[in-house]
Amino acid sequence: LPQTCIDRRWKVTDCYFGGSFDIPTEQRFRIDRPYYRVDKDALQDALSQDGDYRVVKANHISQAINLNLYSPTNSLVHDEKGSTINLKTKDNTDMSVRTKLIVDCTGHETKLVLKDAKTKSIPPGFQIAYGAVVTVDETGLSDTTQIGPYDKEAMTLFDYRTDHFKDEASLQKAENSPTFMYAMPLKDNKIFFEETSLVARPAVSFQECKDRCYTRLEHLGIKVLDIEEEEFCYIPMGGPLPAKDQRVVAFGGASAMVHPSTGYNLCRNMMSSGAVAKAITEGLKEEETNLDKIAGAAYHAMWSPSNIRQRNFAVFGGEFLMKQNVEGLRGFFDGFFRLGSDVWGGFLAGWPGLPNNDKHETWVARILFGLTFVSKLPPKVALDMLLSIATYSLSEGVALPQSVTPLFGEPDSYEYEDRPANQGDIAAKNEARKMIAESKLEADMPVPFEEDTSKVQVQEVTTV
């Protein structure tokens, strides 16, 4: 990324997992790893360089109802040379766009791409967060290097403490349906706070996250003077992949590329975009262009059988996190960040080409990661994970075993397969035509349909 896309850099990352497994509540877990905040507007500008393309601002009106079929009729039509899609502009004007191939970046709940209903999968979980950029009161403070317990020179990734709940009912609810604080000091007394439910199904409510956010701040003695902006974060995680043999190429959230255990997505999208673009451009250069084959190659660039196996491993991780109470999550992440930074960093990225993915991209690497990770966990969490592996494998089929052993084969490929030629037995048909011609019975000789349909005579036939 160009340096202009980096809004802020913190030298270290802090976490708080205290309150369980004899970890003091106030104890800070410091990760000697920098954290970056991306300037989304600068990133968009950097990725939107001048080129041979045009921007059309309009909405599609199509809903996929079956493979490559859409409602309303003719709102999206594919043929051997491309696709035609009908759009509607903001002022309700209809327009039609003709293109070689459609790449769908409309998000996880796309209407243009069907999900795979043949492969067994679990519905997505949801990461929900309420965040706010706020100005806090530092009047009378002798130490302004911190905002509450949060160091201004560090990014606090996780604060899973629950000591700010004073009544038993609220505490019990927070322990069973955990959320954490994410604190990002920006400049002087301006900071971004976000209360996050990592992953849950059904989703934790936004109001619950907001209430917990300000309850926590009040407990920490942080007084908010002004709210500059609010964020409502909704990230589907996991769920089925796109169905195979679709002409529309799903990308990003539409292709379920969000990390199933973490919700991270940006770097995965940027890394895979080059491979997808290459698959499309190389296919379009072929002398005999097959757009279905190109679409299959684009999907394969995202979801090769090897990458699907790695994703299946991470899907189990997301399911395990969903069943944990706050104690389990504290123990999980305290153990996770005690792994080598190359190991946990590779898992958080979890995509071919990203740093340290070699620690996770083969079944051998994943087995080694799993065994090492379990050894870092508190015994109670480690036992739960081992039992969860067994029960998940029994209930959800081969996806997890397939990700950690070669014994169960590979997931189906997205690559295009040639269809069998629909020509029948030419010799038998020619023989029949010859014998009919030689027959003494009087009957019309079967011939191919006339190209000019106006020459075809329609006869009324009575069937008995």
Summarised one tens digit per residue, pLDDT across range 401-435 is: 999 999 999 999 999 998 877 778 889 989 998 98
Joined together, the tokens standing for residue 27 give: 């104890």
| Stated pTM of the model | 0.89
Q: Would you tell me the crossing angle of helices 305-322 and 379-396 to the nearest 10 degrees? A: 120
Please state the φ and ψ torsions of residue 143, each to the nearest 5 degrees. -115, 110
Mean pLDDT, all residues of the chain: 93
Residue 450's pLDDT is: 58
Joined together, the tokens standing for residue 235 give: 């990230």
Q: Token pair 């996806």 is at which residue?
A: 399
252 with 105: CB under 8 angstroms?
yes
Q: Give burial (CB, 10 Å; 0-12/13-18/19+) of 440.
A: exposed
DSSP state of 186: E
In the predicted model, what is the mean pLDDT of residues 170-189? 96
| Bridge partners (DSSP) listed for residue 268 | none
pLDDT at 50 over 80: no
126 with 205: CB under 8 angstroms?
no
Q: Find all residues with CB under 8 Å of 313, minimum gap 6, and list them.
A: 360, 366, 400, 403, 404
Model confidence over 193-247: pLDDT tens digits?
999 999 999 999 999 999 999 999 999 999 999 999 999 999 999 999 999 999 9
DSSP state of 321: H
Model confidence over 320-331: pLDDT tens digits?
999 999 999 999
Residue 464's pLDDT is: 41
- Mark out the alpha helices in 141-256 (DSSP H runs): 168-176, 206-219
Query: How many helices (H) and strands (E) are present in the chain, helices listed first?
Result: 12, 19
**What is the C-alpha separation between 21 and 153, in angstroms, rounded?**
28
